[in-house]
A = this chain, B = another copy of it.
């Protein structure tokens, strides 16, 4: 049984990615990274999601990234931007972009995979309904896969790492439908950048708005809203 490492944030996309990796027959090892995010409620959902879906293991790892002023996701003085639900998308890179975050997260996943003897990494990056982040683009994933194969034993010994991003070209509505078809309990996932202390979503950040549109377009009610979890 081939091993794979999955970056699991506790959100809808990475939970669906884990379910897809399991359906492909991988022995999955989920990794949730604390990088100084103000909101760690999402991450706290990860161990339960991993267990329910049947991941062989789950672990947390920490990295110190937070530099004052770098991002609305890491600096308490920078509020997470909020919009009305149907406001048009803003252009440019949003304040919630964390410098080189996905590069650091994938690097940590690569190190973990190499140590475990896994050659497959799964990540829930999505390039359709994303927020304008540079590190959610297909070119980013291609460059990382190239790097992974020169940076590691694989590059010397001839075996190859594969970076899997099965949601890359899916719309949010397609992700919702796939998750439901795979039996992912979306009610246990949390996508909001700025939930209240009880884990209730703000409904107005980019993550909430993109999620709400996905469920609406899929014609499926968000079970997280019903349970009060999202």
- Chain A residues with a Cβ under 8 A of chain B: 61-65, 67, 69-70, 93, 97-104, 107-108, 110-112, 114-116, 134-135, 137, 139-140, 143-144, 146-148, 150-153, 155-157
Contact A104 B102 (CB under 8 A): no
Check A134/B150 contact, CB under 8 A, given A114-B100, A115-B70.
yes
Contact B156 A151 (CB under 8 A): no
Rounded to whole angstroms, the CA-CA distance of A157 and B140 in the bound complex is 15
8 contacts between A and B (CB under 8 A): A62-B62, A70-B111, A70-B115, A104-B104, A139-B150, A140-B147, A143-B147, A144-B151
Tell me how many chains of this kind the complex includes. 2
Closest CB in chain B relative to A141 CB, distance in Å? 9
Contact A152 B100 (CB under 8 A): yes
Rounded to whole angstroms, the CA-CA distance of A99 and B157 in the bound complex is 14
Rounded to whole angstroms, the CA-CA distance of A153 and B93 in the bound complex is 8
Check A100/B67 contact, CB under 8 A, given A107-B107, A146-B146.
no
For A157, what are the chain B residues with a Cβ–Cβ distance below 8 Å?
A: 93
Contact A111 B116 (CB under 8 A): no
**Residue A151 contacts which of B62, B102, B153 (CB distance < 8 angstroms)?**
B102
**Residue A99 contacts which of B70, B98, B111 (CB distance < 8 angstroms)?**
B111
- 14 A-B pairs besides A93-B153, A103-B107 with CB distance below 8 A are A61-B63, A61-B64, A67-B112, A67-B115, A93-B156, A99-B153, A100-B107, A103-B147, A103-B148, A134-B156, A135-B151, A139-B155, A143-B146, A147-B147
